[in-house]
A and B are shown apart, each in its own frame.
Chain A
Amino acid sequence: MQLTSLGLVRGIIGYFVGLVVGMAVVMISRLALGMSAWDQEAGWVGGIIFATIGFMLAVGSMTDWLKWTRGVETPFHHGPPVGKPAWTRYFSVDYNHKVIGIQYGVTGFLLLLIGGSFALVFRAELADSGISFLQPGTYNTFLSMHAWVALASILLGVGGMANYLVPLMIGAEDMAFPRLNAFAYWINVPAIITLMISMLFGWDSGWTAYPPLSLRGPVGYQMVFWAIFSIGLSSILGSLNLIVTMLTMRPKGMTLFRMPIFCWAILATSIIQLTATQLIGLAFLMLSFERTLGMPFFNPLYNALGENIGGQPLLFQHLFWFYSHPAVYVFVLPGLGIISELLPVFARKPLFGYRWIALSSLAIALVGFLVWGHHMFTSGYGEYLRVVFMISTLLVAVPTGVKFFSWLGTLWGGRLTFPTPMLFTLGAISVFLIGGLSGPILATAATDLFLHDSYFVVGHFHATIFGGFVFPFFAAIYYWYPKITGRMYNEMLGKIHFWLMTPGFWVMSLAQMTAGTMGMRRRIADYDPALGVEPVHMLITIAGFVIAFSILLMIYNLFTSAEVGALAGNNPWRSRSPEWQIPSPVPEHSYAQPIAVVGEPYDYGLAGSTYVAMAGAGDD
């Protein structure tokens, strides 16, 4: 087998060919206009745009569409590529949603490891005061990269869960637009390469990239802007696909309020992604244009009379947070959906208040659009705006509270068992509770004026993201692992993972908040020991490394269990959901016959009830 038969390898070659071509096009154009050939801003922007296109062409994600323009038919190929080993399909363009889901999930997991490692690097530096091995410039780059790599990993992780699970859960053959689905995944890969290249040049604004700082720094910024633009494009296309899939491909009998609850979470998430992502894409392109072409959007410029004829820095913050706040709900709503999905299975009880949980996801999504200004309490915008955004932000507590209380109602009176996925689900609730309850302190503007840009915010944010994404993501991996691989993971290792990671995270989170109230600022390469935060930092660093070690155990577990794990059978968790009624691993065509929904999804304990009628499918 030739290496270039792998789409990924061809794509990477295409990327670098495109990079050279793009730079050459820019240089020739500049020469033709009588300018000096090389300008690193313009050169790199041209290079990155062509590199991204080069990757997408070479990987084959646009091949079918290009054939259509020539009137060529492109029959759908199912199954592994002909004449190649089965594993190669994961490294090439494949239209099966289960393959794409795994591609998303594994890429997301890898990015989580990379982003987490960046954090470990600067946590080691921060363990004591004084600059030991990480110089401030490098520190800033690591810190900024940690954020965007981790955020990209979450977006891909969410994409992984949604792509793998949604079609299975609604009994659909595939996503509505399989080719678009593949395109939406693959556009992330050149974006990630671009993001990694930015490290060679450095950038130092943190993920927020506030101008004017982001207009002044090294050329690494350009790569970040365009990488995030591409990842945003993936979000938009992917969410469009998911919405259409859920709205049009449900089986007979599955009304919206009979969908598995995870689908509701993805529906709410997709609405946000489809409508808000444009704002950050736009904001980052404006930054790029201002750097490359001198368009005065954000940086103030003065004429001889001292009047500002340039831009307004705060405009960027509005655009940025108009996406980036709702984005937080993109990160956590799917995870909260996983919690709601798993609790009934391990409580052997109906989901308490299904409609309330379903609608609370939508409510969080909608209120989420109205709160962006709480990131700007100290920014110097109109003072009355602080009150408006304080009230809208506090409102988020209401639908979130509905979820928590409904989860308790689900547990109450159950027959609870505690395998690893359930442990991570309960851990998620505890951690998300820390994140959620520390929120109102930051929502009431007065306390935020003190805590803004302090470690308290770091603690709050990581608790919401770990509780809302990382813990549920791990719960989901352990839970669906038998469905994906056909084998069980190692329960003992799973439990050790949980009992290391969860207390580790509680300690890390609370210690970060402690440091914040003591006056520790965010994003600083070194701190003043006079604040008394040194022991707190040591604690955070130790806890961080414990969490990292526990994740290594998980990786070991997932790798070895795929070979030696006990055979799982169709339905090890005795779930009612359709994907558990078919063989594990799921066959190429998930459902041999269309399924029909004949009952409620979570009627555990109701004698004689079923959720789906399989119509002859899924006999082993």
Chain B
Amino acid sequence: MLKLPQSSTDRKHFVIVGALVFVATIALGFFLLAILPVKAQYSVQAEPIRWLFQLHVWLIAFLFALVVVFMLYALIVFRKRKDDDSEGEHFEGNTTLEVVWTVIPLILVIIFSFIGFQTLRDATRGGDEVQVEAVGFQWAWTFNYPNGVVSQEMVLPVNKPALISLRATDVIHSFWVVEWGPKQDLVPGMTTRMHITPTKVGEFKVRCAELCGLSHWSMVATVRVVPEEEYIAWMNQKLVEQNIQTASR
């Protein structure tokens, strides 16, 4: 059985706690990654988001372990024993420590501000090889393509940078395809934009993420990401269906 030192400032305490914090950080990090499965994974813009999220998780695991291990250790080691009526050790603070735990978080904040800025840039930029306008209204979506095609589902070619213009006609809505990552509000009176480069073929859902009234929960439309040939074929078929002259593009 480990014999713990009496004095609270003995180095032995901190060695033990340090080791426990290390173990707890690893365990907690993997636990959090397991219970927080970030489902944003099928677009170029989702990558930096997932990366930053996981970086956060490890920092959180460390800070959570640090505080909780220190706390639990103190609760056990410094609990009042049965026949001990003495008071706790008398120290009122330590300015060096306070400065240290002000400055280190400040440095972390600066680092994360920089990383956050870069990640934000990567998660919001892209090209406009494909353009589509998504119009949200209570409680459905319509998608307008520049060539005049109007669709109830959104179809995009895979791996092509798309610029989605967003417009609301009544109240505020928000455009969110979980698998793509970022979301963007649609605000009456202005046009907002988002860049998405889908990287996986498949059928997804765009769901309204801003409470917009009675049927907000069911304001859902289908989003299909298809190979480029299929996209062209679909577009041509729509042009014919909707009787649009290709020349007018």
Please report which residues of chain A, range 392-429, place their CB below 8 angstroms from some CB of chain B when the two chains form the complex. 394-395, 397-398, 401-402, 404-406, 408-409, 411-418, 426, 429
From residue A302, how far is it (CB to closest CB) to chain B in Å? 9
- Number of B residues with CB within 8 Å of any CB on chain A: 88
Of the candidates B80, B92, B172, the one whose C-beta lies within 8 Å of that of A417 is B80
B207 to chain A: which residues have CB within 8 Å?
A: 521, 528
Of the candidates A299, A313, A413, A430, the one whose C-beta lies within 8 Å of that of B91 is A413
* Chain B residue at minimal CB-CB distance from A352: B93
* Chain B residue at minimal CB-CB distance from A213: B171
> Do the beta carbons of A394 and B184 come within 8 Å of each other?
no
Please report which residues of chain B, range 33-76, place their CB below 8 angstroms from some CB of chain A when the two chains form the complex. 35-40, 46, 48-49, 52-53, 56, 59-60, 63-64, 67-68, 70-71, 74-75
Cα of A353 to Cα of B97 in the assembled complex, Å: 9
From residue A511, how far is it (CB to closest CB) to chain B in Å? 8
B212 to chain A: which residues have CB within 8 Å?
A: 213
* Chain A residue at minimal CB-CB distance from B115: A444
Instruction: Determine if A205 is an interface residue (Cβ-Cβ < 8 Å).
Output: yes
Instruction: Determine if A378 is an interface residue (Cβ-Cβ < 8 Å).
Output: yes
B91 to chain A: which residues have CB within 8 Å?
A: 349-350, 352, 413
Instruction: Determine if B211 is an interface residue (Cβ-Cβ < 8 Å).
Output: yes
User: Given A313-B189, A450-B181, do A517 and B172 touch, yes or no (CB 8 Å)?
Assistant: no
> Do the beta carbons of B188 and A313 come within 8 Å of each other?
yes
> Do the beta carbons of A415 and B86 come within 8 Å of each other?
yes
Number of A-B residue pairs having CB atoms within 8 Å of each other in the complex: 290
> Do the beta carbons of B52 and A356 come within 8 Å of each other?
no
Of the candidates B37, B63, B90, B93, the one whose C-beta lies within 8 Å of that of A356 is B93
Instruction: Determine if A605 is an interface residue (Cβ-Cβ < 8 Å).
Output: yes
Instruction: Determine if B135 is an interface residue (Cβ-Cβ < 8 Å).
Output: no
User: Given A444-B52, A522-B211, A605-B89, do A415 and B78 touch, yes or no (CB 8 Å)?
Assistant: yes
Please report which residues of chain A, range 490-522, place their CB below 8 angstroms from some CB of chain B when the two chains form the complex. 510, 513-514, 517-519, 521-522
Instruction: Determine if A94 is an interface residue (Cβ-Cβ < 8 Å).
Output: no
Cα of A449 to Cα of B209 in the assembled complex, Å: 11
Instruction: Determine if B120 is an interface residue (Cβ-Cβ < 8 Å).
Output: yes
> Do the beta carbons of B75 and A411 come within 8 Å of each other?
yes
Please report which residues of chain A, range 207-231, place their CB below 8 angstroms from some CB of chain B when the two chains form the complex. 208, 210-213, 216-217
Please report which residues of chain A, range 89-106, place their CB below 8 angstroms from some CB of chain B when the two chains form the complex. none
Binary contact readout A419-448 vs B (1 if CB under 8 angstroms, 0 otherwise): 000000010011001100110110111110
> Do the beta carbons of B101 and A402 come within 8 Å of each other?
yes
Cα of A443 to Cα of B46 in the assembled complex, Å: 17
Binary contact readout A300-324 vs B (1 if CB under 8 angstroms, 0 otherwise): 1000000010101110000000000
* Chain B residue at minimal CB-CB distance from A520: B178
Cα of A170 to Cα of B113 in the assembled complex, Å: 41
Binary contact readout B112-141 vs A (1 if CB under 8 angstroms, 0 otherwise): 110111011011100000000000000000
B56 to chain A: which residues have CB within 8 Å?
A: 440-441, 444, 447
Please report which residues of chain B, range 1-59, place their CB below 8 angstroms from some CB of chain A when the two chains form the complex. 8-9, 35-40, 46, 48-49, 52-53, 56, 59
Instruction: Determine if A179 is an interface residue (Cβ-Cβ < 8 Å).
Output: no
Binary contact readout B98-121 vs A (1 if CB under 8 angstroms, 0 otherwise): 100110011011001101110110
Instruction: Determine if B241 is an interface residue (Cβ-Cβ < 8 Å).
Output: no
Of the candidates A136, A353, A404, the one whose C-beta lies within 8 Å of that of B93 is A353
> Do the beta carbons of A353 and B98 come within 8 Å of each other?
yes
B208 to chain A: which residues have CB within 8 Å?
A: 521
Instruction: Determine if B182 is an interface residue (Cβ-Cβ < 8 Å).
Output: yes
Q: Looking at B108, B188, B215, which has the most chain A CB atoms within 10 Å of its CB?
A: B188
B75 to chain A: which residues have CB within 8 Å?
A: 411, 416, 418, 426
User: Given A299-B188, A310-B189, A447-B49, do A212 and B170 touch, yes or no (CB 8 Å)?
Assistant: yes
From residue A454, how far is it (CB to closest CB) to chain B in Å? 7
B176 to chain A: which residues have CB within 8 Å?
A: 453, 521
> Do the beta carbons of A444 and B120 come within 8 Å of each other?
yes
Instruction: Determine if A587 is an interface residue (Cβ-Cβ < 8 Å).
Output: no
> Do the beta carbons of B92 and A350 come within 8 Å of each other?
yes
From residue B91, how far is it (CB to closest CB) to chain A in Å? 7
> Do the beta carbons of A415 and B88 come within 8 Å of each other?
yes
Of the candidates A380, A510, A521, the one whose C-beta lies within 8 Å of that of B187 is A380
> Do the beta carbons of A213 and B213 come within 8 Å of each other?
yes
Instruction: Determine if A391 is an interface residue (Cβ-Cβ < 8 Å).
Output: yes
From residue A164, how far is it (CB to closest CB) to chain B in Å? 28
> Do the beta carbons of A140 and B214 come within 8 Å of each other?
yes
From residue A390, how far is it (CB to closest CB) to chain B in Å? 5
A569 to chain B: which residues have CB within 8 Å?
A: none
> Do the beta carbons of A409 and B93 come within 8 Å of each other?
yes
| A and B contact pairs by CB, cutoff 8 A, 19 listed | A204-B211, A216-B171, A353-B92, A353-B93, A378-B182, A402-B98, A408-B71, A409-B93, A415-B78, A429-B71, A430-B68, A445-B120, A447-B119, A452-B174, A453-B174, A510-B35, A522-B209, A523-B216, A603-B92
